[in-house]
Amino acid sequence: MTEREDPIKMHKDANALMEAGKLEEARELFLRTAELYKKKQNYFDSTTMLYKAGECSFALKEYEKAVEQFMQSAELSFDKGFDRFGVSALDYARDCQKALGNTKEVEELTKKIKEVKEKLESAF
């Protein structure tokens, strides 16, 4: 990585690649952008880039990679207080586990999603 890499431009370029159906290229750029945002302590955009990388992997039916990316997005989201965004990432991770036929993981994620939603509802 060079100092010249601009995460905002990379973010836009990755979105354009995704819209053009170049999912593998988009995923790699989303992941690089997530790292840059994280280094700059822009955690919300970092979680977003991880989520978008997961969406690319999901569309490519690379569910193991997608689970990993959605879980990274969820963990960073919960760590930084972006709980609703974290729930969305967990939902997608659960969809990936369903596609993989991993019943135990689906049940664990369903339980975690329920717990977070209950916590969010009790906060209001």
pLDDT band at residue 85 using 50, 70 and 90 as cut-offs: very high
Kindly tell me if the per-residue pLDDT of 58 is higher than 80: yes
Q: For residue range 21-32, what is the model confidence (pLDDT) as tens digits? A: 999 999 999 999
Q: Is residue 1 part of a domain?
A: no
Kindly tell me if the per-residue pLDDT of 4 is higher than 90: no
Q: Is residue 2 part of a domain?
A: no
pLDDT band at residue 109 using 50, 70 and 90 as cut-offs: very high
Task: Pick the closest to residue 49 from 24, 74, 30 (CA basis).
Answer: 30
User: Which residues 6+ apart lie within 8 Å of 84 measured at CB?
Assistant: 120
pLDDT band at residue 101 using 50, 70 and 90 as cut-offs: very high
Q: Is residue 20 part of a domain?
A: yes
CB-based burial, 48-84: b 16+ in 10 Å, e otherwise: bbbbbbbbbbbeeebbebbbbbbbbbbebbbeeebee
Kindly tell me if the per-residue pLDDT of 104 is higher than 90: yes
Whole-angstrom CA distances from 89 to 4, 5, 43 are: 30, 27, 15
CATH number at residue 105: 1.25.40.10
Q: Is residue 91 part of a domain?
A: yes
Total domains in the chain come to: 1
Domain that includes residue 60, residue range: 7-122
